[in-house]
Amino acid sequence: MHDYTHSPLNEEIEMPAGCYWKSEEGTLSYGEEEALYFVGNTSIVSSCCAGYFPPRNYIMVIGYVRAWQCKSNAEGMHVSEVESITNEKAQDDIRRILQQQYKIEEVVFW
């Protein structure tokens, strides 16, 4: 079990090589579970060591929701308790559903 902070949508987080942001956050029903995920985006990423990577979209699956926005952090942002999704069949099923829904190839699990 771990905590997930619901950060604001479309707020850029800058890194030395580029930036990223969440454009959408949602849940997906899977059996009797609710899987929390977000759609992420990156700007052009470049660095002296890693080379150049064009902007891309991806989906990050956080885990199964165990307690929805049950507390707040020091900045006042909502925090949910989630459990990692470790079952490979569940991961494959959820990945396929999200890829079909969003037409985004990269789906990763936290």
Calculated CA dihedral for residues 84, 106, 35, 87, nearest 10 degrees: -50
- For 27-57, the pLDDT digits (tens) are 999 999 999 999 999 876 556 565 655 668 9
Give me the pLDDT at residue 44, please. Answer: 60
Give me the pLDDT at residue 93, please. Answer: 98
Helix runs in the chain, H state only: 88-102
Q: For residues 59 and 42, give the distance between their C-alpha atoms in angstroms, rounded to a whole number.
A: 12
Strands 13-15 and 2-5: unpaired
Q: Which residues contact 70 (CB under 8 A, 6 or more apart)?
A: 79, 80, 81
Give me the pLDDT at residue 20, please. Answer: 80
Q: Give the mean model confidence (pLDDT) for residues 12-30.
A: 85
Q: Quick check: helix, strand or coil at residue 31? A: coil
Band of residue 87 on the pLDDT scale cut at 50, 70, 90: very high
Q: Is the pLDDT of residue 59 over 70?
A: yes
Q: Is the pLDDT of residue 88 over 90?
A: yes
Type of residue found at 58: Y
